[in-house]
Each structure stands twice: as structure tokens, then as C-alpha cells.
């Protein structure tokens, strides 16, 4: 784990680096709020740029490779997974015995991931991207993009 300088972490947040081969780099002036979780597995590599802000209850789960650029902002409950249980395999063994499929996640500069954004493996997010709250992302997002839920919830009157 290498920290350029100015890493600030609030209570309830934990880091887990599983082996000597795992690599975790923090840029300058990073701030991680409460109850977050950062995991870097066996041979994982997680690089985070300068001025990164991660709000409460967010997590980064890196078994392979995750890179986050400069000036990125995570809302509350944001979750990144660069791996998946191998649920597509047709083996008849339980998921927890199948191991993981792994990929990467690359996030550009100046991105804002709204609360409860989930990003799955093999996603590349460009620069200047804003992702609205509660979205799950499994496709690439080009530079200069806003991402929003397609449907707004419906309102029904309560009859009394």
C-alpha cells in the first residue's frame, strides 16, 4: 500500500490487502468517509488518483485491476466489483466452489458516481461522467456523459 499524501479515513472504514503481491495506491488528498470497505485480493491492483472522495458505506472490491482517475467523487453506498461469481458456467457445483471470473474497471478523471451506483467488471468509464443514483452499470460510458434511470416510479393515490 502506497499513499502519496493526505489520506483521511473516517471510523468504521476498513482496508484488506490479501497478499504481498496485491497493490494499493492512493493519490494525494483522498478522503474516505465512514463504514467503507476496500479490498484488494491476492494479485489485485487498485490505483486511485488525487482528490478522491468516497462517501459512507461505499466499497471497492478489487481482485484483478481497478483504476480511478483524478478528482473522482463517490456518493454513499457506491460499489465496484471487478469480478463475479462464475454463474454462467454450467457446472453443477455451488457458486461458492466455482471461483471468480475477473476483469477490470477503469474510471477516468472528474467522474461523479451517485449514491448506490454499482459498477461491474469490464467497464470503462470516460472522463467527466456523472452517474445518477441507484444505477447498475455493466457497459462502457464515453467521456462527457450523464447516466440516468430510464423510468420514474409511479404514484398512486391512497383511497380513504
Residues that bind its own copies (CB under 8 A): 11-12, 14, 33-35, 37, 51, 53, 56-57, 59, 70-71, 73, 76-77, 79, 81, 85, 87, 90, 92, 94-96, 109-110, 112, 115-116, 118, 120, 128, 130-137, 139, 141-142, 144-160
Min dist CB 87 to its own copies, Å, is 5
Q: Which is nearer to its own copies, 23 or 51 (CB)?
A: 51
Contact 41, 15 (CB under 8 A): no
The span from the CA of 18 to the CA of 20, in Å, is 7
Min dist CB 66 to its own copies, Å, is 16
Q: Which is nearer to its own copies, 42 or 140 (CB)?
A: 140
Left if phi > 0, otherwise alpha if psi is -120 to 50, otherwise beta: which for 34? beta
Sequence-separated (6 or more) residues with CB below 8 Å from residue 149: 132, 134, 135
Instruction: Give the rounded distance of the alpha carbon of 25 from its chain centre.
Output: 15
Q: Which is nearer to its own copies, 2 or 151 (CB)?
A: 151
Q: Which is nearer to its own copies, 2 or 96 (CB)?
A: 96
The number of beta carbons lying within 10 Å of the beta carbon of residue 8 is: 10
Q: Record the cell numbers describing residue 120, joined without a space.
A: 461491474
Min dist CB 60 to its own copies, Å, is 11
Q: Which is nearer to its own copies, 104 or 145 (CB)?
A: 145
Min dist CB 140 to its own copies, Å, is 10
Min dist CB 76 to its own copies, Å, is 6
Sequence-separated (6 or more) residues with CB below 8 Å from residue 79: 58, 59, 60, 61, 116, 117, 118, 119
Amino acid at each position: 500500500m502506497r499513499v502519496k499524501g493526505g489520506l483521511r479515513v473516517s471510523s468504521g472504514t476498513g482496508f484488506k490487502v490479501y497478499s504481498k503481491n496485491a497493490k494499493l495506491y492512493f493519490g494525494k488528498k483522498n478522503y474516505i468517509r465512514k463504514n467503507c470497505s476496500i479490498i484488494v485480493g491476492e494479485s489485485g491492483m487498485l490505483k486511485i488518483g488525487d482528490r478522491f472522495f468516497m462517501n459512507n458505506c461505499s466499497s471497492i472490491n478489487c481482485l484483478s485491476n481497478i483504476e480511478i482517475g483524478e478528482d473522482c467523487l463517490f456518493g454513499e453506498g457506491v460499489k465496484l466489483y471487478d469480478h463475479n461469481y462464475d454463474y454462467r458456467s454450467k457446472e453443477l457445483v455451488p457458486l461458492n466452489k466455482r471461483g471468480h471470473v475477473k476483469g477490470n474497471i477503469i474510471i477516468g478523471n472528474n467522474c461523479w458516481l451517485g449514491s448506490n451506483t454499482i459498477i461491474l467488471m469490464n467497464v470503462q468509464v470516460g472522463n467527466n461522467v456523472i452517474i445518477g443514483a441507484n444505477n447498475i452499470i455493466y457497459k462502457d460510458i464515453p467521456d462527457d456523459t450523464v447516466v440516468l434511470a430510464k423510468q420514474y416510479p409511479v404514484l398512486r393515490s391512497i383511497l380513504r
